[in-house]
Amino acid sequence: MTTNSYKLQMKMNKAINVGCKVLESNTKTIEVFPYLRHEDGDKDIYCLSPYHGRSFIVGRLDNGRYVVSKGNGLSYTRHCFLHTKEPYDDTWGLLLRQDAERDFAIGQEIEALGIKTNHMEYVLELDFEICLPSGRIVKPVLLQYDVECPYRISDAPFMTKDQIQTEVQKWREMNERGYNTAHMIAANVLIKNLRIMHDHQVLHNAIHEQNYTWALELLDFEIACTPSHPYTSEDDMRHVKDLYSREIIHTYVIINYIAGALHEEIDYAIVDALFEEYGFDLHQYDVSPKDGNDKSFVPTAISLPKKFCTK
């Protein structure tokens, strides 16, 4: 499978078509892919890296966007689903219905706010049953959506330099501040996204390099909450809430990751100032020594050694 300018590096997995019930729909024209990973299957599904966990590329739209399915089973190991005694029936490779429906609904809210994100297509309940250790019998549920770029920021070790640069070149269209470095273009997009979400009382709760694509699309809202989709009593037990300020650091980590992947020197004073411009003043969280005797070194810029270069 190729993009307009490079070939995707993918691992092919086999899957079976088990049929499904459409629980939620945001389209009437896109094909449904009720696939479950199975070594003896006759369908092909593709994974770009183990970081995608339970997500696979299942198709391509006429406009070039990639169709992704989430919940089809693990993309690594020989096992489709693994239960390691996680609470509340959480199972590796499995997507629970309430999580898929939350992801689907909040994803559309995020898109309506003008944030670049995945476009939701369907929530599908598969015609297939599994029995969890709790004794609960569930039918796997899939979240199907499409994206501009299937690679996540975390996929950098699995990408070539040319693949990364092809995506980064597209960021010029987002460079509304005229930055000379790509990581600062990304920083402005990510921090602006955070400002929009917090202004609308949206807690994403999983902002990290696995949930942004190289097209700077924000993904994965299954543990997010909004005023229209607050946490239930069970969600309160499964997820930490009300940590909006923590997402400032999570966003900063992604900016560091991008700068490192692109071998760009990052100036923390400039990044701090950009956060402050958007109303995230890091000074209010500062608990550093103030007596003037602190001998610790606080860097203002860093660049990674060549041994960390991507291929």
pLDDT in tens, 8-58: 778 899 999 999 999 999 999 999 999 999 999 999 999 999 889 899 999
Q: Which two tokens stand for residue 142?
A: 């899939």
The last residue of a domain, from among 109, 134, 150: 150
Q: Is residue 4 part of a domain?
A: no
pLDDT of 61 reads 96
Identify whether residues 34 and 47 lie together within a single domain.
yes
Residue 153 DSSP symbol: G
Q: Is residue 45 part of a domain?
A: yes
SS3 43: strand
Of residues 198, 207, 204, the one with CA closest to residue 257:
207
Residue 65 DSSP symbol: P
Furthest C-alpha separation in the chain: 68
Identify whether residues 287 and 162 lie together within a single domain.
yes
Give the integer Cα–Cα distance in Å for 23 and 72: 16
Q: Is residue 85 part of a domain?
A: yes
Identify whether residues 90 and 179 lie together within a single domain.
no
pLDDT of 237 reads 61
Helix orientation angle between 182-199 and 246-261, rounded to the nearest 10 degrees: 160
Identify whether residues 144 and 160 lie together within a single domain.
no
Q: Tell me the residue range of the domain where 191 lies.
A: 154-308
Identify whether residues 229 and 304 lie together within a single domain.
yes
Identify whether residues 102 and 196 lie together within a single domain.
no
Identify whether residues 189 and 251 lie together within a single domain.
yes
pLDDT of 189 reads 98
Q: Is residue 177 part of a domain?
A: yes
Identify whether residues 121 and 38 lie together within a single domain.
yes
Q: Is residue 2 part of a domain?
A: no
Contact 43, 67 (CB under 8 A): no
Q: Is residue 1 part of a domain?
A: no
pLDDT of 1 reads 59
Identify whether residues 165 and 301 lie together within a single domain.
yes
Q: Is residue 213 part of a domain?
A: yes
User: What total number of domains does the chain contain?
Assistant: 2
Does pTM top 0.85 for this prediction? Answer: yes
The last residue of a domain, from among 98, 132, 150: 150
- Distances in whole angstroms, Cα of residue 60 to Cα of each of 3, 9, 25, 171, 210: 10, 15, 18, 22, 21
Identify whether residues 29 and 169 lie together within a single domain.
no
Low-confidence residues of the chain: pLDDT under 50: 302-311
Q: Is residue 5 part of a domain?
A: no
pLDDT of 304 reads 45
Identify whether residues 121 and 170 lie together within a single domain.
no
Residue 32 is which amino acid? V
Measured from the Cβ of residue 134, the count of other Cβ atoms closer than 10 Å reads 11
Identify whether residues 146 and 76 lie together within a single domain.
yes
Residue recorded with tokens 């590796």:
92
The last residue of a domain, from among 108, 128, 150: 150
